[in-house]
């Protein structure tokens, strides 16, 4: 049996289709992951993505009965079985920190997203996990204009759920090269504003430099940091954000651009975090 660590995010480690355990740097303990994108498909193609054989597309149809069964069985194993012993977790890590919908692509691309949220919440509430734990949705926020996604987030909010909203660059070229998305910043800003009205919202940012065709993109570049700070300042005038999560890469990219990426150091993350805090925002840093 493998030992869980921040460098091991194998979606198959527990033998389930949809459910997997992770030691999360950002949560600081055991995160129970839920993967809707079992086909390794996403509507973005981030250059730092650690999903193998990533393809452009949407999540496949969910087997809701199997999702409920797997989550119920897994939670029972963690709470009442020998899960911690089998995976060799240190005593201070033997607590559920969050239930995180993330996985191998954009989770809000799944059909009947609101129904999927309802299934997850029903099983978690039935399991009676000791407090405190957190519901987390990790998303690029690109599909928040859909009514079904908004309905799912409203239910998420009823259970104090959070969305961690990806924002790696606010420049058009930065987003195009780093995230492989042509979605304009105006639409993404509108989606971030909407997310913050629907539930607690953190901005989640990977700090790196991508060297491509003689140009450099990403938030290790000073001009990108200046634009990012201005964007946050403008957003704070319109909405309330919980804060910003800055992180560097703990595991290598599995995308073709992997050799073109330089990840942030701890010192670089802390320096950037200081600039963001001057705006009055809370910042969490994961190296």
**pLDDT tens digits for 150-175?**
999 999 999 999 999 999 999 999 99
pLDDT of 12 reads 59
3-state secondary structure at position 271: helix
The rounded distance, in Å, linking the Cα atoms of 60 and 83 is: 29
**Sign, CA torsion 82/85/89/92:** positive
Where does 96-215 have alpha helices with state H? 113-127, 147-158, 172-178, 185-198
Question: Per-residue DSSP letters for 2-42?
Answer: PPP-TT---TTTTS-SSEEEEEETTTTEEEEEE-S-TT-EE
Q: Which two tokens stand for residue 181?
A: 């998305």
Distance CA 283, CA 67 (A): 33
Hey, which residues does 166 pair with through a beta bridge? Answer: 204
- Higher-confidence residue of 47 and 250: namely 47
The contacts of residue 66 (CB under 8 Å, 6+ apart) are 17, 18
Q: What does the pLDDT average to over 129-144?
A: 95
Nearest-angstrom CA–CA distance, 272 and 209: 14
Residues 139, 116: Cα–Cα separation, whole Å = 15
Predicted local distance difference test score (pLDDT) of residue 9: 46
Strands 162-166, 134-139: pairing kind:
parallel
283 pLDDT higher than 80: yes
Q: Say if residue 228 is exposed, middle or buried (CB neighbours under 10 Å; 0-12, 13-18, 19+).
A: buried
How many other C-beta atoms can be found within 10 angstroms of the C-beta atom of residue 221?
Answer: 18
Q: How confident is the model at residue 204 (pLDDT cuts 50, 70, 90)?
A: very high
Q: What is the pLDDT of residues 87-135, one digit of tens each?
A: 888 888 889 999 999 989 999 999 999 999 999 999 999 999 998 999 9
Residue-averaged pLDDT of the chain: 93
Superfamily of domain 19-204: Aldolase class I (3.20.20.70)
- Residue bearing the bigger pLDDT, 176 or 93: 176
Residue-range domain boundaries for the chain: 19-204
Is 203 a residue whose pLDDT tops 60?
yes
Question: Could you report how far apart the first and last alpha carbons of the chain are, in Å?
Answer: 27
- Pairing label, strands 208-212, 243-247: unpaired
Kind of pairing between the strands at 215-217 and 208-212: antiparallel
| DSSP codes, 98-127 | EEEE--SS-GGGSTTHHHHHHHHHHHHHHH
Cα three-residue angle 190-191-197, rounded to 5 degrees: 95
Q: pTM score, two decimals?
A: 0.93
Dihedral, CA of residue 59, residue 62, residue 66 and residue 67, to nearest 10? 60
Helix (H, G, I), strand (E, B) or coil at 154: helix
């Amino acid at each position: 049996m493998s030992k869980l660590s921040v460098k091991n995010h194998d979606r198959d480690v527990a033998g389930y289709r949809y459910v997997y355990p992770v030691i999360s740097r950002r949560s600081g303990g055991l995160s129970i992951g839920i993967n809707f994108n079992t086909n390794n498909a996403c509507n973005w193609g981030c250059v730092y993505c650690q999903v193998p054989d990533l393809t452009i597309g949407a999540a496949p149809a969910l087997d809701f009965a199997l999702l409920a069964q797997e989550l119920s069985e897994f939670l029972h194993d963690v709470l009442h079985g020998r899960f911690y012993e089998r995976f060799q977790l240190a005593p201070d890590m033997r607590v559920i920190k969050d239930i995180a919908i993330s996985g191998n692509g954009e989770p809000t691309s799944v059909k009947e997203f609101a129904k999927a949220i309802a299934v997850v919440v029903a099983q978690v509430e039935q399991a009676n996990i000791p407090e405190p734990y957190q519901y987390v949705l990790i998303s690029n926020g690109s599909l928040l204009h859909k009514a079904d996604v908004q309905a799912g987030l409203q239910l998420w909010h009823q259970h104090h759920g959070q969305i961690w909203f990806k924002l790696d660059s606010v420049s058009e070229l930065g987003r195009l090269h780093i995230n492989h998305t042509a979605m304009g910043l105006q639409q993404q800003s509108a989606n971030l504003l909407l997310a913050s009205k629907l539930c607690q919202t953190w901005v989640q940012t990977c700090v790196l430099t991508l060297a491509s065709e003689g140009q450099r993109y990403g938030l290790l570049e000073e001009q990108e940091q200046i634009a990012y700070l201005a964007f946050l300042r403008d957003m704070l005038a319109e909405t309330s954000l919980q804060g910003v999560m800055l992180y560097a890469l703990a595991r290598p990219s599995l995308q073709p651009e992997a050799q073109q990426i330089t990840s942030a150091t701890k010192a670089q993350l802390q320096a950037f975090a200081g600039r963001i805090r001057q705006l009055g925002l809370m910042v969490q840093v994961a190296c």
